[in-house]
Amino acid sequence: MMKANAIKWSWFMNLIIFFLHCSNGIAVESERVPALFVFGDSLVDVGNNNYLSSIAKANYFPYGVDFAKFGPTGRFSNGKTFVDILGEILGVPYPPAFADPNTAGPVILGGVNYASAAAGILDETGQHYGQRYSLSQQVLNFETTLNQIRTLMSGTNLTEYLGKSIAVLVFGSNDYINNYLMPSVYSSSFYYSPPDFANLLVNHYTRQLLALYNLGLRKFLLPGIGPLGCIPNQRASAPPDRCVDYVNQILGTFNEGLRSLVDQLNKHPGAMFVYGNTYGSVGDILNNPGTYGFSVVDKGCCGIGRNQGQITCLPWVVPCSNRNTYVFWDAFHPTEAVNAILALRAFNGSQRDCYPINVQQMTLIY
């Protein structure tokens, strides 16, 4: 017990040190990282879907209940997302939503967020939710931003700026829970075995990553997919106290393929692609919740039905009061407390967390 408490205390002291470091505005990485460009799904969406005809939105209370000064913004969390916290550590301002009309002019020089809830690597993923920016559309949206940036700086400066900036891409979850695992809506599981579907995703992902590289970006963080079989939405259909093993098992080929991909992509001149072991990090939290201060791992803080996961967080539903003890905020997404752990592991974790280097090491590469 004393050892577990010591580990827990050490972990939270590290978090406190990092957030004091960020709040004082002395994150030295800010000079090394001029901008953060974020691509992905609802795990990192900051409000793009607010401007789209979509039912996948989080611009209402209690989303943002712990996001001081901001409240509900379109983030699918009780507070900050993983990239919000990573940006704080790096000393980079929150990248604004691409779809926001105010995202124009000098503000875009600090980066832009293109992430869209329900988006996937495949264009058709999540279409039952309505409009969303798929991966391919997000790359096109980045090109739009890049054309605007070209009017704000010279060619030489632009090359250096893009080379120092970091792109974060969080994709893949929806291609499973809102495509492959929905045979009543999507036909992908009829045509592809789990390994073949994973390879299809990696191949599509590769093409878009190379497109971003060819546009000038050089530093990439690519988190893998977490243990989706353990989210409340999936647990709601599983035996009590069990994750859905089949769902977790079929993710292995994708995560392994993405990790192998970074080795291939890092052969390109000046490139540094980093794989984030989301599955391992979240799995560690789920297997050892007490070490990180969590006591509820199997249900959402805000939701309806079994495991508070059959229906996700609805407007003005009263969430749990002890949110820092919950791993999951709603039926699909982690709490801010988990996002903080994932951001810290991405920043200074070991090779088990980030391969081949972590984000802090990536900032030192010129």
Please state the CATH superfamily assignment of the domain spanning residues 31-364 in this structure: SGNH hydrolase (3.40.50.1110)
What backbone phi and psi angles, to 5 degrees, belong to 228? -60, -25
Q: Angle at the Cα of 272 (from 271 to 273), degrees rounded to 5?
A: 115
pLDDT one-digit tens code per residue, 222-256 = 999 999 999 999 999 999 999 999 999 999 999 99
Structure tokens at 203: 């191949």
Q: What is the DSSP letter of 54?
A: B
What backbone phi and psi angles, to 5 degrees, belong to 325? -100, 0
Q: What does the DSSP assignment read for 12-26?
A: HHHHHHHHHHHHTT-
pLDDT at site 12: 53
Q: What is the DSSP letter of 85?
A: H
Catalytic residues: 42, 330, 333
pLDDT one-digit tens code per residue, 333-363 = 999 999 999 999 999 999 999 999 999 999 9
Q: Is the peptide bond before 62 cis (omega within 30 degrees of 0)?
A: yes
- Which residue type occupies 288? N
Q: What parts of the chain have a pLDDT lower than 50?
A: 1-10, 13, 17, 20-28
- Which residue type occupies 74? G
What backbone phi and psi angles, to 5 degrees, belong to 295? -130, -15
Where do the domains of the chain lie?
31-364
H-helix or E-strand spanning residue 279: helix 278-287
Query: Among 361, 203, 159, 145, which Cα is nearest to 272's?
Result: 361
Q: Write out the E strands in 133-194.
A: 166-170
pLDDT at site 27: 47
pTM confidence score? 0.93
Structure tokens at 106: 């000098």
